[in-house]
């Protein structure tokens, strides 16, 4: 994979950078700037080298329409603060404002263009439509830098097609993500513990298949744990379950036993009378989740303290840990303890650090959870910016946005 080290002098050159600035917003306010913070070092490096930096990114899913609430305008000042220099903003992507803003750039200047996905050609399944958009993006620049790891699994105009039209290199963020993900996939330190959570087993079929070939321990919490508990014959009340994945879960349990991989499932659950922040709740053993007071109407919203302690013990004993997916509804304080326990264990496992020890938070909801719960990024070995991309990499898939950078 070609990196910035092989790009040569960039002073005075127009460098188009595909960043991932898809940050959560609430009424125009950025609630988690993690991806902005992660994108800043590459942009700062390019600007300090005298490049004329053109940043392109997306926000949300506008589906090819201009949606005011999904404008990147509020991101520009936050990006400027993170980079430590002024960031101009152009209110279109390949139109007259973008061309004027790029023409006005001096050496070391940075401009952020409007949301790529306001143009339907960015995500089009039609190769010709994407190619047309990529050609227009390429007119703005001399060099392309791919630095949005969260989108490298997408065959999109600003991710894949543009890299076939300009000299293309991986930015520092993408390079770091690939290095960490490769270690998880190809060179795990032992013991290697994986913690998976989130809502659905079906979202993680490929990565479970892959990690059962590599991990020593696979701890499963969150909503997906109830499909495994149901597959073992436990009554789970109204807890989330994917009935069509019960046999798949049984197959994973059999495969783990055959390969000597430890699968840790919850032994206790925080049950609730309803899905609400202030719901009545209690802890029940996994083999009696429908016990009073909620009976069969109760639903599980977090792993229990016994389970959290067991998961934490495996994490702190491991030399490599990958975590993807919260253990419960962490947005509700009453149901955040399991996710907090996992995060705290990762910070302990990272502490030292010992040679070869690596703790990785696999992006997406996990990254949001640790920040929501008050942890800082530097308490972990690595917080990925790419939830879906991280999982697909660990499945061993070819990712278009990385494959196109080989050369």
- Binding region for substrate: 20-22, 35, 58-61, 117, 154
Structure token pair of residue 227: 């499909």
Active site residue 200: yes
Which residues have a Cβ under 8 Å from the Cβ of 125 and sit 6 or more positions away? Answer: none
Which residues have a Cβ under 8 Å from the Cβ of 102 and sit 6 or more positions away? Answer: 14, 52, 54, 90, 111, 140, 141
Structure token pair of residue 79: 């990006």
b (16+ CB within 10 A) / e for 279-301: bebeebebeebbeeebeeebbbb
| Dihedral of alpha carbons 246, 250, 251, 256, sign | positive
Active site residue 388: yes
Which residues have a Cβ under 8 Å from the Cβ of 27 and sit 6 or more positions away? Answer: none
Active site residue 2: no
Q: Of the listed 18, 35, 214, 340, which one is catalytic? A: 35
Neighbours of 309 (CB within 10 A): 14
Structure token pair of residue 321: 């840990």
- Tell me if residue 155 falls in helix, strand or coil: coil
- Known binding-site residue numbers: 20-22, 35, 58-61, 117, 154, 204, 300, 331, 363-366
Q: Of the listed 364, 381, 386, 401, which one is catalytic? A: 364
- Tell me if residue 159 falls in helix, strand or coil: coil
Active site residue 95: no
> Which of 174, 251, 151 is CA-nearest to residue 209?
251
Q: Of the listed 200, 255, 357, 397, which one is catalytic? A: 200
Q: Of the listed 44, 95, 388, 397, which one is catalytic? A: 388
DSSP string across 316-383? HH-SEEEEES-SS-TTSGGG-HHHHHHHHHHHHHHSSPPTT-EEEE-SHHHHHHHHHTT--GGGSSEE
Neighbours of 120 (CB within 10 A): 14
Sequence length of the chain is 407
Q: How far is CA 231 from the centre of its chain?
A: 28
- Known binding-site residue numbers for ATP: 204, 300, 331, 363-366
Active site residue ranges:
35, 200, 364, 388
């Amino acid at each position: 994979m070609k990196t910035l080290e092989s790009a040569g002098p960039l002073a005075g050159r127009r460098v188009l950078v595909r960043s991932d600035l898809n940050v959560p917003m609430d009424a125009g306010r950025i609630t988690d700037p993690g991806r902005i913070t992660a994108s800043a070092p590459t942009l700062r490096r390019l600007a300090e080298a005298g490049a004329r930096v053109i940043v392109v990114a997306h926000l949300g899913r506008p589906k090819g329409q201009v949606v005011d609430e999904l404008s990147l305008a509020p991101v520009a000042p936050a990006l400027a603060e993170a980079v430590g220099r002024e960031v101009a903003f152009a209110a279109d992507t390949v139109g007259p404002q973008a061309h004027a803003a790029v023409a006005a750039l001096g050496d070391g200047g940075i401009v952020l263009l409007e949301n790529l996905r306001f143009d339907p050609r960015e995500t089009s399944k039609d190769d010709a439509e994407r190619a047309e958009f990529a050609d227009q993006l390429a007119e703005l620049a001399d060099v392309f830098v791919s630095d949005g790891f969260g989108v490298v699994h997408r065959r999109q105009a600003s991710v894949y097609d543009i890299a076939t039209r300009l000299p293309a290199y991986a930015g520092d963020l993408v390079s770091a993500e690939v290095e960490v993900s490769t270690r998880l996939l190809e060179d795990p330190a032992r013991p290697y513990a994986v913690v998976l959570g989130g809502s659905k087993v079906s979202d993680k079929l490929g990565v479970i298949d892959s990690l059962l070939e590599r991990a020593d321990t696979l701890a499963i919490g969150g909503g997906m744990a109830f499909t495994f508990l149901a597959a073992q014959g436990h009554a789970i009340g109204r807890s989330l379950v994917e009935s069509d994945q019960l046999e798949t879960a049984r197959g994973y349990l059999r495969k783990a036993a055959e390969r000597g991989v430890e699968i840790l499932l919850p032994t206790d659950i925080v049950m609730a009378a309803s899905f609400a922040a202030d719901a009545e709740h209690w802890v029940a053993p996994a083999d009696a989740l429908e016990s009073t007071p909620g009976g069969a109407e109760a639903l599980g919203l977090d792993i229990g303290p016994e389970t959290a302690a067991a998961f934490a013990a495996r994490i702190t004993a491991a030399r490599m840990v990958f975590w993807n997916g919260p253990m419960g509804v962490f947005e509700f304080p009453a149901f955040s303890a399991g996710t907090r326990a996992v995060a705290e264990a990762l910070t302990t496992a990272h502490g030292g650090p010992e040679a070869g020890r690596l703790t990785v938070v696999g992006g997406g909801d996990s990254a949001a959870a640790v920040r929501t719960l008050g942890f800082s990024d530097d308490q972990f070995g690595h917080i990925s910016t790419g939830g879906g991309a991280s999982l697909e990499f660990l499945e061993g898939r070819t990712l278009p946005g990385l494959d196109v950078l080989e050369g």
